[in-house]
Amino acid sequence: MLSKPPPPWRWQTLDRAADLDPVPPVIEETRAQHWCNFVLWQPSRLPGGCERSVGTLRREAPPGRIEAEGRTPWSDANPCGYRTEISGGGRRLRLKQFLYDWAFPAADHPCLWGSRTRPAQIGAGRVVWLGTDYLGHRAASARLARTTVELSVLEGDFTDEEIIALFAALRPAVPDAVPRVLATPFAELSYWARHPADMVSVPTGVFHFHRRGRAHEGDWVPSEKVVAFLTAQGVPVTAGQFTAQSAAAFGDGAAVRELDVVYSSPSGGELRLTAQRTGGGRLAFPPQRDKHPATAEVTDLGGRPLHLGYLSAEFGACDAWWQHPDGYDLRLLGSAGAGLGRDAFLGLAAEIDRGLQLAGRAQALG
């Protein structure tokens, strides 16, 4: 007998930007979870001599600029987020948790962009990245069941071993939220898919392709229509353990000229496919390297060059660009983790490419 899928995750939001708290309230994780569009994590083990303060919650509200501590200065968006400090013995760090949903998280650890990073396993196929954040602080970042968890050292020093152990000991504040969040399509969770908020140009991977312009663009396909929509476009719905949950179309008139597809795995891993008619979108071939330290190579995919970039051959995060024989351009991004390194990722790209070609032949025969 098949088990019933969990219900989608639903969370509380404020009705107006004017209702935002002037100062984010102090609220423990178990109560804060119901205000979050992501899985909220809490430490079960702390570095020696340290204590954890109760965190602060920035509630979600519709777009609008108001004076409120903790809101983003670069957009009119008001997404939710949670911040915790851990301190003791002259040392202090902070954890920040949120759903990174205005673009694909660059190299799977956007707060470390531009610094040389190194991965460490933290169990269940997950990795944490260690490096330096944009403020020059010693920092770390991981994606856990889609949630971006960022650590920044504010005072003193913490060893790699202490930081890795802290991430490995993170546990969901409300365990029942995990399967529900993972069962909810990205487009239903994403603030930017639900609100016409200003976008921000940010890096997205090893190769240069910053997020689209500031104006809100693209139309997200209703979740219940994603499979039929992608099938009609000739795009595979599955790749390995990944299933397409969400898709955004960018068009000119009645035609789709550019398409973003979000594939998710049961554990929260993510693939992001961008497809465009050659010359009809923002992918430019051959791709140019962005500034983040990484390995780049050109490999073969069915007699065509595939440009591949990655941070770790074992864990990813990977970025692949190639061109389809039928005249369109493709880019595939992947989150990091065990089973998502170079070879496995190339296998997923090849599987998607085969699916696109098979669909194209079927449509031609039809």
Identify the residue with better confidence: 102 or 128: 128
Q: Is 90 exposed, middle or buried (0-12, 13-18, 19+ CB in 10 A)?
A: exposed
> Are 99 and 38 contacting, i.e. CB atoms less than 8 angstroms apart?
yes
Does residue 276 have a pLDDT over 90? no
247, 266, 270, 349 from 274: Cα distances, Å: 10, 21, 13, 12
Q: What residue type is 1 in one-letter code?
A: M
The pairing of strands 81-88 and 51-52 is antiparallel
Q: Which two tokens stand for residue 134?
A: 């944009």
Does residue 327 have a pLDDT over 60? yes
Q: Which two tokens stand for residue 75?
A: 């957009």
- What is the C-alpha separation between 33 and 79, in angstroms, rounded? 14
Nearest to 146 by CA among 98, 203, 214: 98
Does residue 363 have a pLDDT over 90? no
- What is the C-alpha separation between 135 and 38, in angstroms, rounded? 25
What's the maximum distance between 2 C-alpha atoms anywhere in the chain?
71
- What is the C-alpha separation between 360 and 235, in angstroms, rounded? 9
- What is the C-alpha separation between 149 and 128, in angstroms, rounded? 9
pLDDT-above-70 percentage for the chain? 94
> Are 61 and 191 contacting, i.e. CB atoms less than 8 angstroms apart?
no
Q: Which two tokens stand for residue 225?
A: 């229509």
User: Chain-wide mean pLDDT for the chain?
Assistant: 91
Buried b (16+ CB within 10 A) or exposed e, 309-333: bbbbebbbbbbbbbbbeeebbbbbb
> Are 248 and 222 contacting, i.e. CB atoms less than 8 angstroms apart?
no
Does residue 26 have a pLDDT over 50? yes
Q: What is the pLDDT of residues 115-143, one digit of tens each?
A: 999 999 999 999 999 999 989 999 999 99
Most confident of 206-210, 255-259, 343-347, 358-362: 343-347
Q: What is the pLDDT of residues 36-63, one digit of tens each?
A: 999 999 999 999 999 999 999 999 999 9
Q: Which two tokens stand for residue 343?
A: 């070879």
Angle at 147 between CA 311 and CA 106, to 5 degrees: 35
Does residue 256 have a pLDDT over 70? no
- Evaluate the CA torsion angle 211, 217, 218, 220 in order and state its sign: positive
Identify the pLDDT of residue 305: 97
Phi-psi region of 22 (alpha: psi -120 to 50; beta: other; left: phi over 0): alpha
Q: Which residue has the tokens 């902070």?
A: 94
Q: What is the pLDDT of residues 284-302, one digit of tens each?
A: 889 999 999 999 999 999 9
